[in-house]
Chain A
């Protein structure tokens, strides 16, 4: 039996990466709740999971009301073991002096949404005697890039939130870690359509010489973080990136917009 068979998981933010994570957790036997502002997208993935024989529900939410949504779906699931916050928005492109207030509000609002989801998850994980919180961060929460100020700052903020939870909630045997993924997303494919030579050069420099598959690679890294492997890994940044953080080449959305 898979160690995820009786687990309950929530994935907040169902873009391509969130979808891959939800599909993989469900494939391993976990019951998964999918939360997003785009209920049609979340429900489409939930339907895909149920069609394949898995267990999934979906819930719509405004980003400033995530706490209530998490509480609601935990009741439906009947418990909570794994929370995945995949909340960072698409970056607003523009130099720092041109970044509007709304860009910062959106980006920091998503970090706050992750905090809300974590606060809602806490009592259930405490009741279970353990838990796993996986915040999906970004390379720009460790390095930065130009032209995406609000995104950089929020990505760094998510690291601080992750490590704070690791400090505050480790005593409940809740391990909170940050996942930095690199995957072949629709955004990447769109960049590739415009600058294929450059992106092929970047991918060739990655240690594993390929982008991640959202289900097989990013999903596998989430299983690593959610499994017994991370019983004592807490406050860590784990890279499901084929080694990109080691190799260096980084895309700059500001330049390829």
Chain B
């Protein structure tokens, strides 16, 4: 609710709906309730997904991790998009932004369930871009790298590591949730994004061009 409070404080209209995105009925009703609350729907951002703990690919936990990641990430994004479609058609336009990951592109170790889901989301993105473009709906995926609580947890307070990773980035810094990731998503859903669809957009200062350091270890949760 902190996010809602800060939105209201800046004078924005905001409405919070709690939902389990791995449950189809809840996803459908959250989209429906949002659209009815505002009277229309123009933009859908599918960022929610369960992030399973990192385990080795041969682990017996992989099946369950995959199940929960796919249901919340892939199916959740699909169900929300399907529920938004009639509203977008009514508005004669729509914007969907899905979330992929550099970890998935490079197959970072021990993240099989997460990685497979994130790449599946890019497949979903391109397919819906092809199918729904005729309704003036754009569907894009972003692959962000930005500072977040999960990202901070990965470094476990190791400031030297935090700085070292920033120095590896071509822009010599970490991404900022608002000014970098938020700004890019805003650009895609704005008038500026009207002719961009099916795109996978890295928002990472160009770090993906250098590959991905395989620093992950079993038992952590960072993706």
Binding site for B on A (CB under 8 A): 163, 166-167, 170-171, 173, 175, 206-209, 212, 216-218, 220-221, 223-224, 227-236, 238-243, 245-247
Q: Is B183 in contact with A221, judged by CB distance below 8 angstroms?
A: no
> Besides A232-B203, A239-B196, 17 other CB < 8 A contacts?
A166-B206, A167-B206, A167-B210, A170-B171, A171-B172, A175-B171, A212-B195, A220-B191, A224-B187, A224-B196, A229-B188, A232-B204, A233-B184, A233-B201, A234-B204, A242-B195, A246-B126
Binary flags per residue of B177-202, CB closer than 8 Å to A gives 1, else 0: 00111011011101111111111011
- B202 near A236 with CB under 8 A, answer yes
CB–CB A207/B133 < 8 A: yes
The answer for the CA separation of A171 and B170 in the assembled complex, in Å, is 6
How many Cβ-Cβ contacts under 8 Å join chain A to chain B?
133
- The answer to whether A173 and B184 have CB atoms under 8 Å apart is no
B41 within 8 A of A: no
Q: Is the beta-carbon distance between B209 and A235 smaller than 8 angstroms?
A: yes
Contact at A247–B198, with CB atoms within 8 Å? yes
Check B184 against A221 for contact (C-beta < 8 Å): no
Give which listed residue, A170, A207, A208, A218, contacts B172 with CB less than 8 A. A170
Q: Is the CB of B205 within 8 A of A247?
A: no
Set A175, A217, A227, A246: member contacting B198, Cβ < 8 A: A246
Complex CA–CA separation, A224 to B197 (angstroms): 13
Q: A167-B170, A171-B170, A221-B195 are in contact. Are A236 and B133 (CB under 8 A)?
A: no
- Band of interface residues on B: 35 or more
B171:A171 contact, CB within 8 angstroms: yes
A232 to B202, CA, bound (A): 9
Asked if residues B183 and A228 are in contact (CB atoms below 8 Å), the reply is yes
Q: How far is the CA of A27 from the CA of B180 in the complex (A)?
A: 25
Q: Inside 8 A of B138's CB, which chain A residues have their CB?
A: 208, 243
- Closest residue of chain A to B198 (Cβ to Cβ) is A246
A171 to B136, CA, bound (A): 37
B6 within 8 A of A: no
11 CB contacts below 8 A, A to B, read: A208-B197, A209-B133, A218-B195, A227-B183, A229-B188, A234-B204, A235-B206, A236-B202, A242-B197, A245-B198, A246-B129
Contact status A221-B192, CB under 8 Å: yes
CB-CB under 8 A from B92, the residues of chain A are none
Taking the nearest CB of chain A, how far is it from the CB of B41, in angstroms?
19
Q: Write out the residue numbers on chain B whose beta carbons fall within 8 Å of the beta carbon of A166.
A: 170, 206, 209
Residue B195 contacts which of A229, A232, A240 (CB distance < 8 angstroms)?
A: A240
What residue in chain A is nearest B189 (Cβ atoms)? A229
Q: Which residues of B contact A207 (CB under 8 A)?
A: 129-130, 132-134, 197-198
- B89 CB–A CB distance under 8 Å: no
| Chain A residues, CB < 8 A from B201 | 233, 236, 238
Is the Cβ of B195 less than 8 Å from the Cβ of A235?
no
Q: How far is the CA of A229 from the CA of B205 in the complex (A)?
A: 12
Distance in angstroms from B142 CB to nearest chain A CB is: 9
Q: In the complex the two chains form, what is the Cα distance from A92 to B138 in whole Å? A: 35
B170 CB contacts on chain A under 8 angstroms: 166-167, 170-171, 234-235
Residues of A within 8 Å of B205, CB to CB, are 170, 232, 234
B28: Cβ under 8 A from any A Cβ? no
Q: How far, in Å, is A243 (CB) from chain B's closest CB? A: 4
Residue B175 is within 8 A (CB to CB) of chain A in the complex: yes
B26 at the interface (CB under 8 A from A): no
Q: Which residue of A lies closest to B130 (CB)?
A: A207
Contact pick for B187, options A163, A167, A229, CB 8 Å: A229
CB A106 to nearest CB in B, in angstroms, measures 28
Interfacial chain A residues near B203, Cβ < 8 Å? 232-233
B169 within 8 A of A: yes
A242 to chain B: which residues have CB within 8 Å?
Answer: 133, 195, 197
